[in-house]
Amino acid sequence: MKKLRVFLAICLIMALFPGCSPEREAAREEKLIRVGFSQVGSESDWRAANTQSMISALSEKNGFELIYDNARQRQENQFLAIRNFIQQDVDYIVLAPIAESGWDDVLSEARSAGIPVIIVDRQIAVSDEDLYTSWVGSDFLAEGQRAIRWLEGTIQQQGRLGKPLNILHIQGTDGATAQIGRTKALNDAVRTHPGWKVAAVLPGEYTEAKSYELVRDFLAEDQQIDVIYSENDNMTFGAIRALEEAGISYGADGDVIIISFDAVHDALEMCLNGKINICVECNPLHGPRVAALIRQLENGETPAKQTYVDETFFSPGLLNEDLIGSREY
C-alpha cells in the first residue's frame, strides 16, 4: 500500500513539477539523501579501509542512498562515474580523486546540474575553487616531515648525521596529493643534508606487486642503500619481500631503515616486531566526516572549505598489541 502511495505521489509531483526526477523524488519520499561516491580503486589496505568507512557512514540506516563506483585507478573511469551520477540526479557527489589535475570540465557539469561536490583524501587543483564545496583529508607534507624528523633523530643517535646516506624512494601514484606532499618532504631533506642521496625513485603506484617488482630489479643492480622511504604500507610489503629474497637485513636491527606511510594494521604489527622502523599514520576514516558535511549542507549551513584530520606516527617503542587491536583499520 505504501508503495502505491509513493507511486501516486511521484506521478502527482511529476505532473506538477516536471523538472524533478523520479529517482530523486522517490528517495525524497523515503527522505534518503542520494550520494554518488567515486572511489579511486582498491589498490591498498588504506583504500579498503577508506571505502569501508564511507559505505558504513553513508548507509540507508543513516539516511543515505549510496551509489558507489570503483574507478580501478583510472581517472577516465571517475569522469564516467561523475557523469552517471549527474544523469541519475543525485543530491551530492563525493569524489576521492586519483590525481590533482583534470577535474575542471566534469565538475563544471556537476555545478551546472546543481549538485554539490565534496572531495575526500587527495586534493584537486581547479581553476575555480567553487567547483567543489568542501574537502576533508590529510596534510601529506606534514606526514612526510614527521618521517624526516624521525629519520634525522635516528641518524643523529647513530652518529651518522653529516655522513653519506643512500635512500631508495618508492613513490605513490604520480600527481596524487599524497605523493606530492610525501615526496616534497623527502626532497627538501635531501637538499638540507649534503650527504643524503636518493639512489632511485621507483613508481610503485601504491601497490605491493608493483613495488616488489621494482625493488627486486633495483636490488639486482647491487646498489647499497641505507633507507627505504616508501609512500605507503603496501609498497613497503612488496619492498620487504624483495629485501628478504636478496638476503638484505632491514628494520630495527637491520642494515636498511624502513620508513612507511599509512599505518594500517599489518604494518603496525610489522613495526611492533621491528620489521618497519616507523609507520606514519594516514587516517582513512573519512566516512563520518563526509556524512557530517552533508548533514550541514542539508541544514543550510556552510561547512569549512578544508578539514585536515589529526594524525601521528608509530615506532616499535610506541606500540603494543592492545593499541594495535584497538584501532579500526
Distances (CA, A) of 116 to 111, 152, 287: 7, 44, 17
Nearer to ligand GZL, 47 or 193 (CB): 47
Query: Is the distance from CB of 157 to CB of 150 less than 8 angstroms?
Result: no
Nearer to ligand GZL, 21 or 73 (CB): 73
Contact pick of 94, 115, 178, 257 for ligand GZL (by CB under 6 A) = 178
For residue 166, what are the β-bridge partners?
A: 197
Residues in contact with ligand GZL, shown as a per-residue x/- string from 102 to 141 under the rule CB under 6 A: -------------------xx---------------x---
Least separation in angstroms between residue 123's CB and ligand GZL is 10
> Which position has the grid cell 620508513?
259
Segment contacting ligand GZL by CB under 6 A, of 39-47, 107-115, 288-296, 305-313 = 39-47
Residues in contact with ligand GZL, shown as a per-residue x/- string from 47 to 66 under the rule CB under 6 A: x-------------------
Least separation in angstroms between residue 326's CB and ligand GZL is 21
Contact pick of 262, 275, 277, 293 for ligand GZL (by CB under 6 A) = 262
Q: Give the H or E element holding residue 40.
A: none
Any idea what DSSP says for residue 254? S
Residue 46 lies near ligand GZL (rule: CB under 6 A)? yes
Nearer to ligand GZL, 63 or 203 (CB): 203
Contacts 24+ apart (CB under 8 A), 275-278: 275/240, 275/250, 275/251, 276/236, 276/240, 276/251, 277/154, 277/251, 277/252, 277/315, 277/316, 278/147, 278/150, 278/151, 278/313, 278/314, 278/315
Residue 232 lies near ligand GZL (rule: CB under 6 A)? yes
Considering only residues 65 to 94 of the shown chain, the ones binding ligand GZL according to CB under 6 A are none
Q: Please name which of 116, 132, 134, 136 lies closest in space to residue 53, comparing C-alpha atoms.
A: 136
Q: Please name which of 189, 205, 251 lies closest in space to residue 226, comparing C-alpha atoms.
A: 251
Residue 208 lies near ligand GZL (rule: CB under 6 A)? no
Nearer to ligand GZL, 43 or 65 (CB): 43
As a whole number of angstroms, the distance between CA 69 and CA 124 comes to 19
Nearer to ligand GZL, 30 or 139 (CB): 139
Nearer to ligand GZL, 173 or 277 (CB): 173
Residue 43 lies near ligand GZL (rule: CB under 6 A)? yes
* Grid cell of 254 as nine digits: 637491520
Considering only residues 7 to 26 of the shown chain, the ones binding ligand GZL according to CB under 6 A are none
Segment contacting ligand GZL by CB under 6 A, of 9-17, 44-52, 189-197, 301-309 = 44-52
Give Cβ neighbours of residue 149 (< 8 Å, ≥ 6 apart).
none
Distances (CA, A) of 28 to 15, 86, 296: 16, 17, 17
Contact pick of 148, 282, 291, 294 for ligand GZL (by CB under 6 A) = 282
How many residues interact with ligand GZL (rule CB under 6 A)?
14
- Helices 287-298 & 45-57 angle (0-180, nearest 10): 30
* Residues lying near ligand GZL in the complex (CB under 6 A): 43-44, 46-47, 121-122, 138, 176, 178, 206, 232, 261-262, 282
